[in-house]
Amino acid sequence: MSKRNKSLMDLMTRFPRTWDEGFTFSMISAAAALAISSFLARAGAQQVGTLKAETHPALTISTCTSTGCSTENDQVVLDANWRWAHSTSGSTNCYTGNTWDATLCPDSATCVANCAVDGADYSGTYGITTAGNALTLKFVTGSNVGSRTYLMDSETTYKKFELLGQEFTFDVDVSKLPCGLNGALYFVPMAADGGMSTTNKAGAKYGTGYCDAQCPRDLKFINGSANSEGWVPDSNSANSGKGNMGSCCSEMDVWEANSMANAVTPHSCKVNEPTMCTGDDCTRNTGLCDADGCDFNPYRMGNTSFFGVGKTIDTSKPVTVVTQFITADGTTTGTLSEIKRFYVQNGVTYAQPNSDIAGVTGNSVTDSFCTAQKTAFGDTDYFGTNGGMATMGEAFSKGMVLVMSIWDDYAANMLWLDSNYPLDKDAATPGVARGACATTSGVPADVEASAATSQVIFSNIKIGPLGSTFTAPA
């Protein structure tokens, strides 16, 4: 071990450390810190390709006040993980299927020196299109499956949303999202420049810097370093695998949904900035982040007639979704205390229905709701352990990047959203039934074949003070 690495490891075990503007080493084990610092010491920089020009689709949103809303001209960018990674000297794939090229990427340092991510054909390759204030994400386009996009306020920076004391509103059409799919809209505290630095030349323009509360290890590049070392191809996916490193941060799932079910779910972490993890720190729930979150899914909370095709909120039609982030003192700098949800459809406003689960009251996400829900469902309260609503609010205070995606689930077939889950529990047990989809649904090979034409449309995004983006019920 070099003196530099040992000193860095010793420092990181005592204090948080920012690494090249985008990522933080914070509250991680000494072993993990050593592994990551040694890894990065050998790494070069994530390169930018020149074979395809990068042109971001335009998307307008509205910023509102008590007197009205104004239009903001923004754009969306595709996540780097979906992009073509090829040799800097030509067009040889650095990554094909779920495997790194052994010649170009024998180790991380060589890989980042040899490989570049390139521009994207948004509509032709990825099925991503915009029209005014609407973003359409198609599920399967050619050989591509799913996509993840971020909202930008310039060619090179993500838009950072200040959510405390605000409400966020959007229209969504999930009519073409069957069981097993997820049209998701959520926030994570990514760096505005995508972590652009001496180790990341691509930056936000090419969709770098992702993190979430699952601490994903399927990212090909993290903070400008190739995640090729220790990479193991997934046995059930021809396109993905996992490396030694993951990328953790708190996550606010405003909307995870298909036509059968929806959930709003904050996830708290021990870290509130994009943070590399290795080993146990990447582990679900017991590592750096609360992967399960504290969800409010109306079906799971006992109201099985509220959301779905032909139900109170009829998912065969578009719906306006309003989410309010309320602070304890009513200011935009206070402690996050409550997350409230409203729906507007056919000119009628509906509050989130009250819980019908014994021992759990209310229709909004609060610390007391989460504690009661975890107790009623027999789940461990990792959300509360990691600081609950206050920690989620601390992440908000750093500014949040808007993510919009469409995906299927190779880990659990999306049963945690729209069916009975876990499968080893009786469906009558409180918290197990989450939607009306069959427990045999959602298998990626099935939905990719039978539901290839699926899509989600997000539109009419608005942000502003409470009550400024819709007419709240009296």
Over residues 214-225, mean pLDDT: 95
DSSP symbols for 77-105? EE-GGGS-EEETTS--BSEETTEE-TTT-
For 156-173, write each residue's pLDDT tens digit: 999 999 999 999 999 999
Is the predicted pLDDT of residue 95 greater than 90, yes or no? yes
Confidence of residue 12 (pLDDT cuts 50, 70, 90): very low
pLDDT at 230 over 90: yes
> Does residue 2 have a pLDDT over 50?
no
Position 45 scores a pLDDT of: 60
Please provide the average confidence, as pLDDT, over all residues in the chain. Answer: 91
Please, are residues 207 and 194 in contact by the beta-carbon 8 Å criterion? yes
Reported confidence tier of residue 4, pLDDT bands at 50, 70, 90: very low
- Is residue 394 flagged as an active site residue? no
Question: Could you tell me which residue, 204 or 36, shows the higher pLDDT?
Answer: 204
Which residue among the candidates 167, 229, 251, 273 is catalytic per the annotation?
A: 251
Could you tell me what percent of the chain has a pLDDT over 70?
Answer: 91
Annotated catalytic residue within 229, 256, 273, 394: 256
pLDDT in tens, 14-70: 223 233 334 443 444 444 443 444 333 333 468 899 999 999 999 999 999 999 999
Range list of β-strands (E), 284-431: 307-308, 313-314, 319-327, 336-345, 348-351, 400-408
Q: Kindly tell me if the per-residue pLDDT of 9 is higher than 60.
A: no
| pTM (2 d.p.) | 0.91
Q: Which helix (H) or strand (E) holds 59?
A: strand 58-65
Instruction: Mark whether 256 is an active-site residue.
Output: yes
Per-residue pLDDT tens digits for 445-471: 999 999 999 999 999 999 999 999 999
Return the beta strands (E) in 301-335 as ranges: 307-308, 313-314, 319-327
Is residue 344's pLDDT more than 90? Answer: yes
26-35, 196-205, 429-438, range with the lowest pLDDT: 26-35
